[in-house]
């Protein structure tokens, strides 16, 4: 399994036979190395409905006949646009052919802003646990620190955790480092920072605060191999 970081919260997972994109915010993302027309996802996983996470989902899904797995209200909204979706909710899991997906809680918001400046409610924000090929990956989505991260860590042997560190909208470095102590992953990759001025952070500061897990600071396009 290969795990690629592509700036902001964009993560690509390559299993033996499936290309998976999480939160594919590409156009308008100055920190990504991806180009929409070059991406060929089989599956898209979404944590919540904010525009900088849904991103280019509709175009990518339609162009590649990709399955979009998302929280229920967000899945409904995308299905109305002709996208093939599978709706889920926090606490639920589903065994797909490409792996098992489970949605966890996250403390944030979730809405989509249309071109007409309408705000569409898209349900509860979430994190994602992904299980495949004997590995467990946790993408926290956008979230504050919360105590039940310990429950997630106690019930899962997490190989790699992707955690936001940007502050302002999510955890900052200090809270994210404490989250690592609760989750106890083998390694952690910081995400959701430096895309916009308001979330500028030094990932090395985060790394210095983490005590018992390996921190892997990735530039866009770099990967972790499992």
Domains and CATH numbers, the chain: 2-225 (3.60.15.10)
Tens-digit pLDDT profile for residues 108-144: 999 999 999 999 999 999 999 999 999 999 999 999 9
Query: How far out from the chain centre does Cα 56 lie?
Result: 14
pTM above 0.95, yes or no: yes
Element (H, E) at 58: helix 57-64
pLDDT category at 190 given cuts 50, 70, 90 is very high
pLDDT of residue 125: 98
pLDDT band at 183 (very low <50, low <70, confident <90, very high): very high
Question: In the predicted model, what is the mean pLDDT of residues 101-105?
Answer: 98
Give residue 171's pLDDT.
98
pLDDT in tens, 22-42: 999 999 999 999 999 999 999
Span 64-81, average pLDDT? 98
Q: Residue 153's pLDDT band (boundaries 50, 70, 90)? A: very high
Q: What is the mean predicted confidence (pLDDT) over 33-54?
A: 98
Residues 6+ apart with CB under 8 A from 42: 18, 19, 20, 64, 66, 67, 98
Q: What is the mean pLDDT of the chain?
A: 98
Q: Beta partners for 188?
A: 161, 215
Instruction: Enumerate residues 6+ apart whose C-beta is below 8 A from 6.
Output: 12, 26, 32, 33, 34, 220, 221
CA–CA gap between residue 3 and residue 210 (Å, rounded): 21
**Distant-in-sequence, close-in-space partners of 54: CB < 8 Å, separation ≥ 6:** 23, 25, 46, 74, 78, 112
CA 159 to chain centre: 15
Nearest to 50 by CA among 117, 145, 121: 121
């Amino acid at each position: 399994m290969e795990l690629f970081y592509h700036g902001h919260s964009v993560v690509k997972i390559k299993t033996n036979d499936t290309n998976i994109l999480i939160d594919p915010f590409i156009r308008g993302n100055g920190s990504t190395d991806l180009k929409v027309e070059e991406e060929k996802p089989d599956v898209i996983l979404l944590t919540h409905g904010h525009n900088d996470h849904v991103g280019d989902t509709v175009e990518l899904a339609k162009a590649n006949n990709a399955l979009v797995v998302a929280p229920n209200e967000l899945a409904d909204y995308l299905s109305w646009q002709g996208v093939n979706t599978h709706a889920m909710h926090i606490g639920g899991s589903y065994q797909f052919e490409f792996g098992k997906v489970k949605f966890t809680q996250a403390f944030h918001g979730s809405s989509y802003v249309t071109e007409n400046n309408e705000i569409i409610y898209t349900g509860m924000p979430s994190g994602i646990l992904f299980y495949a090929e004997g590995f467990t990956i946790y993408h926290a989505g956008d979230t504050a620190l919360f105590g039940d991260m310990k429950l997630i860590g106690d019930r899962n042997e997490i190989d790699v955790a992707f955690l936001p560190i940007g502050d302002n909208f999510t955890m900052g470095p200090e809270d994210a480092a404490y989250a690592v102590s609760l989750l106890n992953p083998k390694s952690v990759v910081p995400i959701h920072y430096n895309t916009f001025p308001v979330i500028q952070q030094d990932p090395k500061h985060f790394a210095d605060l983490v005590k018992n897990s390996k921190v892997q600071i990735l530039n866009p396009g770099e990967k972790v191999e499992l």
